[in-house]
Amino acid sequence: MSRPIGRGGGATVPRIKGINHNLAVYGWDLRDALEYTAKILEKSIERPTDAFFKQIVQNANERAALRVLNTGEDSGRTLTVFAAAAQLGEEGTQESPGQGDGIETLIVLLGANNALPSMLSLRVCWSEDGYDDLRLKERFTVWNPVHFEAELELVVEEIKKIKARHVILGTVPHVTIAPVARGVGSKIRKGSRYYPYYTRPWIDTEHFDVGRDPRVTEQEARAIDSAIDQYNDAIAKAVENARKSGLDWYLFEVAGLLDRLAACRYIEDPQAQPPWWRRYELPPELKALSPEPDSRFFTSGPEGRTQGGLFSLDGVHPTTIG
Mean pLDDT of 131-145: 97
Q: What are phi and psi of 148, to 5 degrees?
A: -60, -45
The DSSP code sequence of 7-76 is: SSGGGSPP-BSS--S----TT--HHHHHH--HHHHHHHPPPP---SS--S-TTHHHHHHHHHH-BTT-TT
Distance of alpha carbon 266 from alpha carbon 273, whole angstroms: 5
Query: Which residues does residue 202 pair with via DSSP β-bridges, in sequence order?
Result: none
pLDDT digits (tens, 9 = 90+) for 53-69: 777 778 889 999 999 99
Q: 101 or 120: whose pLDDT is higher?
A: 120
| Cα 140 from chain centroid (whole Å) | 16
pLDDT digits (tens, 9 = 90+) for 17-53: 889 999 999 999 999 999 999 999 999 988 777 777 7
Whether residue 116 contacts residue 181, with contact meaning beta carbons closer than 8 Å, is answered with no
pLDDT digits (tens, 9 = 90+) for 176-200: 999 999 999 999 999 999 999 999 9
Provide the terminal-to-terminal Cα distance of the chain, rounded to the nearest Å: 35
What pLDDT, on the 0 to 100 scale, is given for residue 261?
Answer: 96
Where residue 227 falls among pLDDT bands split at 50, 70, 90? Answer: very high
Q: Classify the C-alpha dihedral 1-77-162-97 as positive or negative.
A: negative
pLDDT digits (tens, 9 = 90+) for 77-92: 899 999 999 999 988 6
114-117 long-range CB contacts below 8 Å, 24 or more apart? 114/29, 114/30, 114/142, 114/143, 114/148, 114/151, 114/172, 114/231, 115/141, 115/142, 115/143, 115/172, 115/175, 115/224, 115/227, 115/228, 115/231, 116/175, 116/178, 116/180, 116/316, 117/141, 117/142
